[in-house]
Amino acid sequence: MFEYAPAPESRSIVEIAPTYGLFVDGEFTDGKGTFKTINPASEEVLAEVAMAAPEDVDRAVAAARRAFGPWSALPGAERAKYLFRIARIVQERSRELAVLESLDNGKPIKESRDVDLPLVAAHFFYYAGWADKLSYAGFGPDPKPLGVAGQVIPWNFPLLMLAWKIAPALAAGNTVVLKPAETTPLSALFFADVCRQADLPPGVVNIITGAGDTGRYLVEHPDVDKVAFTGSTEVGRQIARSVAGTGKRLTLELGGKAANIVFDDAPIDQAVEGIVNGIFFNQGHVCCAGSRLLVQESIASSLLDSLKRRMATLRVGDPLDKNTDIGAINSRAQLEKITELSEIGSSEGADRWSPPCELPDRGFWFAPTIFTGVTQAHRIAREEIFGPVLSVITFRTPDEAVEKANNTPYGLSAGIWTDKGSRILAVADKLRAGVVWANTFNKFDPTSPFGGYKESGYGREGGRHGLEAYLA
């Protein structure tokens, strides 16, 4: 591989303050204590962020409740103006927000710049378009907003998950209290500033930072009408239990263990790109990642040769370098989880391979890794690793591929690679997954509903379907 000169994106475009408060009722206010957020690529402290105590959550929910009446009473076309304005400001500030996201999360700048930020703006544009057309969305002639939405999001796509949650909620006339993940609070706090810039009425969007307990207090709050959560299946289960019987509406977007199925007639070079994108995009911190490669036995060895050649060209390192393909793992805890599951993969008898690759001394890093000789019983074939680790399983017939693909407690996404359109349709029909990609992977669009079956959760985000979760 030839060497590239470093091509770092300038950090000076973003000004990070030493401390941040909670965004409640249009103002930044103190919480009870603070916590530090770090750059996972260097372990440098980026800022101290306020920790929301229960009384802060109460204040935020009360502010959202006060704002709900006037906000929901606005004509849809007026609400749309705010959403269009937010979308345009996000576009204008996209370079700054992309650098910030890469600093706080560890993802490569080319992904935050070319995937996350354009999709964030697109979500606000898309739902702005719905705000004055709710009566035509297929949920009755006069659908009503639910009230105050309590939203809890994870660290893998901090600003994008915020957009997935806030844009449809606001378009439908709800107000929100959102808690970002503890390791990635900064882009949500910058978004609070975007809301101020857009003159959004105080209380319509409130951002409270904190740990899991803050999230738990928010979703259990009696004055929250709707809960939307993205994160681990374990926490999703706890939330489902606590919300049961309260009358609150709930959507859960949880884990996945997607099968990326490659048939013997697939275009191999494209499939290799799709496999790489499926599992190494965003360091594999993707709920719909193609973490199980199901490859037809007759082409397995040549496909694996091509895949290994391609993996050897992936550049791991500084997230702010425009040439970087794989950035930092988001936290020490996540690195430990990936390391542990990978060690279990080896001890259970699977063969582990990574290309030679030098990892930086500081920060949290994991080389792109594949396991071959994986069976269905292996833990690495069943559990969500949420890192750059691919388990390779072979199959002989389409029926066997479908059976193995569906042999998982999850059901979020899947991929099919084949030359035959008829095979795509026949196989997609039998896969128990909310999203099925054909000859591509990890493609997202605000117009397209996204969500899972079984332990991957319920409800849909995105598209017309995404409005349903915020309307009565």
Distance CA 139, CA 421 (A): 33
Q: Which stretch binds ligand NDP (CB under 6 A): 39-47, 143-151, 235-243, 447-455?
A: 235-243
Distance CA 98, CA 115 (A): 10
- When binding is defined by CB under 6 A, the residue of 16, 211, 344, 438 that contacts ligand NDP is 211
- Give, as ranges, the residues between 310 and 369 that touch ligand NDP (CB under 6 A): 334, 337
Where does 167-235 show beta strands of DSSP type E?
175-179, 205-207, 226-230
Q: How far is the CB of 104 from ligand NDP (least distance, A)?
A: 12
Query: How many CB atoms within 10 Å of residue 304?
Result: 18
Query: The sheet that has 19-20: what strands, in order across it?
Result: 19-20, 45-50, 34-38
Contact mark string toward ligand NDP, 250..269, x via CB under 6 A: ----xx--------------
- The region that residue 349 occupies, defined by phi over 0 for left and psi between -120 and 50 for alpha, beta otherwise, is left
Q: Which stretch binds ligand NDP (CB under 6 A): 4-12, 39-47, 178-186, 439-447?
A: 178-186
Query: How many CB atoms within 10 Å of residue 430?
Result: 14
Q: Which stretch binds ligand NDP (CB under 6 A): 166-174, 227-235, 319-327, 432-440?
A: 227-235
Residues in binding contact with ligand NDP, number by CB under 6 A: 26
Give the phi and the psi of residue 49 in degrees, each rounded to 5: -125, 145
Which of helix, strand or coil describes residue 390?
Answer: strand
Is 253 one of the catalytic residues?
yes
134 near ligand NDP, rule: CB under 6 A: no
162 near ligand NDP, rule: CB under 6 A: no
| Closer residue to ligand NDP, CB minimum distance, 231 or 290 | 231
Q: Which stretch binds ligand NDP (CB under 6 A): 71-79, 175-183, 362-370, 461-469?
A: 175-183
Task: Return the amino acid letter for 264.
Answer: D
Query: How many CB atoms within 10 Å of residue 309?
Result: 11
Which structure tokens are listed for 237?
């289960």
Q: How far is the CB of 302 from ligand NDP (least distance, A)?
A: 32
Is 195 one of the catalytic residues?
no
Check 9, 101, 253, 468 and give the catalytic one. 253
- When binding is defined by CB under 6 A, the residue of 156, 283, 291, 418 that contacts ligand NDP is 156
Which residues fall within 8 angstroms of residue 373, CB to CB, at 6 or more apart?
A: 349, 350, 351
Q: List residues near ligand NDP by CB under 6 A.
A: 152-156, 179, 181-182, 211-212, 215-216, 219, 230-232, 235, 238-239, 254-255, 287, 334, 337, 384, 386
Q: Which active-site residues does the annotation give?
A: 253, 287
